[in-house]
Chains A and B, each alone.
Chain A
Amino acid sequence: MPPLFPERASTIAARVDALYFFLLAIAIFFGLLIAGLIVYYAVKFHRRSPSAVGARIHGGMVLEVTWTVVPLLITMVIFVWGASVYFAMAHPPDETLNIYVVGKQWMWKFQHLDGQREINELHVPVGRAVKLITTSEDVIHDFFVPAFRVKADVLPGRYVTIWFQPTRPGRYHLFCAEYCGTRHSGMIGEVVVMEPNEYETWLSGGAAEGSLASAGAKLFQDLACNTCHRPDAQGRGPMLEGLFGKTVTLQSGETVTVDEAYVRESILTPSAKITAGFQPIMPTFQGLVTEEQLLALIEYVKSLQAQPQVTAK
């Protein structure tokens, strides 16, 4: 017997399934109702003589109102339910294990904060909320793990976050669900959910070249970012320490929150949003940094968060 129902391996899966079963019940009810009535009427009122004619019934207001209002109410229940499940999917909890994901034709690249990189295989610990920050190097892909009931398009030029909390150790299918070209159906992989201690061993076992942030720090030197962005507010560019998550005021007077997308834009299109009090002298790094290097830089900027005290010494 082949499986008829997908495994359930994340906290959200049960909520999705519950709504699914509710919808199934409604569909079965109305499906049987309509089919049953059709068969029943077709038999009961079968035309018996070639000249027979049906009764002259033109309609009935009560019925019309009933079958307008009842479905309306039912659908509104479904709407609210569906929206609440979706909200849970859209808002990750505060404490998450962050992993960067880059999709490209036709593979998945994963970048752990501790430095491990993986291709087409993603290791995560059971019981912890995992947040993926995803982007694409070329066309649109889609990160889909049926057992977790999560899915989101992975867009070039943007960071899309996906989160889930695995509940059962095991190996689960990972599919690219947005058509992306010739080997779309080959852009598959596995998510390996491990017990926390196994996960720790796995993490330390990998030949990591240092954390992602430290890779970013090295890039920050190599690309000479540090000539302008210095920790002492003496540089030609703004100080990046403690910047992430804050709001900055732009020359135009608007304010923006510094998130992944903003840092990315600052590096690729510095002129798009000029920070108040600075000259638009930062060169663009479009074409000079890859998506993965960008992620390392972003992680580095994020890591500068905790350092003000350190640099203050």
Chain B
Amino acid sequence: MPTNHILPTRVYYTIFAILMLCTFATVLIAFFDLGPLNAIAALTIAVFKAVLVVLFFMHVRYSTRLTWAVVAGGVFWLGILLALTLSDYLTRSWQTFG
């Protein structure tokens, strides 16, 4: 039977520790004024945390290429939705009607 990638529990505990640290860090950073960096930092940390969960807790790191493709596809499509909609919002004020 496919008892392949059974990870040692150590991996899970390590990831858990990193995730908790990240949570602490993101809350901490939020209380300092870094200008636009605040939002960037918060989102970067969130992406990092999500990637850890996906790769290790959800075993994608050890999964087939197809699973990778599905995950990447979902994120990519979300990107399409955001990018093309924002292409409207960000350029609306460019209109220079006399």
A and B touch in the complex (CB under 8 A): yes
Residues of A within 8 A of B (CB): 90-94, 96, 131, 161, 259
A33 to chain B: closest CB distance in Å?
34
B95 lies within 8 A of A96 (CB): no
Question: Which residues of B55-98 have CB atoms within 8 Å of chain A's CB atoms?
Answer: 95, 97-98
Question: Which residues of chain A come closer than 8 Å to B97, judged between CB atoms?
Answer: 90-92, 161, 259
Chain A residues near B98: list those with CB within 8 A.
91-94, 96, 131
Tell me the smallest distance from the CB of B59 to a CB of chain A, in Å: 41
Band of interface residues on B: under 10
Per DSSP, are chain A's interface residues mostly helix, strand or loop, or mixed? loop
| Distance, CA A259 to CA B97, complexed state (A) | 9
Question: In the docked arrangement, what's the CA distance between A90 and B98, Å?
Answer: 11
Q: Which residues on the A side are within 8 Å of B95 (C-beta)?
A: 90
Task: Report the nearest B residue to A161, measured CB to CB.
Answer: B97
Q: Which of chain B's residues have a CB closer than 8 A to the CB of A96?
A: 98
A94: B residues at CB distance < 8 A: 98
Complex CA distance for A93 and B97, rounded to whole angstroms: 9
CA distance A306 to B13 in the complex (A): 72
Q: How far is the CA of A147 from the CA of B98 in the complex (A)?
A: 24
Q: Report B54 CB to chain A, min CB distance, Å.
A: 37
Min Cβ gap A88→B in Å is: 13
Q: Which residues of chain B are within 8 angstroms of A91 by Cβ–Cβ distance?
A: 97-98
Question: How far apart sit A131 and B98, CA to CA, in the bound complex (Å)?
Answer: 10
Q: List 12 A-B contacts (CB under 8 A).
A: A90-B95, A90-B97, A91-B97, A91-B98, A92-B97, A92-B98, A93-B98, A94-B98, A96-B98, A131-B98, A161-B97, A259-B97
- Give A159's nearest chain B residue, CB to CB: B97
Given contacts A96-B98, A259-B97, 10 further A-B contacts (CB under 8 A): A90-B95, A90-B97, A91-B97, A91-B98, A92-B97, A92-B98, A93-B98, A94-B98, A131-B98, A161-B97
Docked Cα-Cα span, A5 to B98, in Å, equals 33
A94–B97 CA distance with the chains assembled, in angstroms: 9
Closest 5 CB pairs of A and B: A161-B97, A94-B98, A92-B98, A92-B97, A96-B98
Least CB distance from A239 to B in Å reads 24
Considering the chains assembled together, what is the distance between the CA atoms of A92 and B95 in angstroms? Answer: 11
* Cα A161 to Cα B97 with chains together (Å): 8
Q: Report A18 CB to chain B, min CB distance, Å.
A: 25
Bound CA–CA A131/B95 (angstroms): 15
Q: Bound state CA distance, A96 and B97, in angstroms?
A: 11
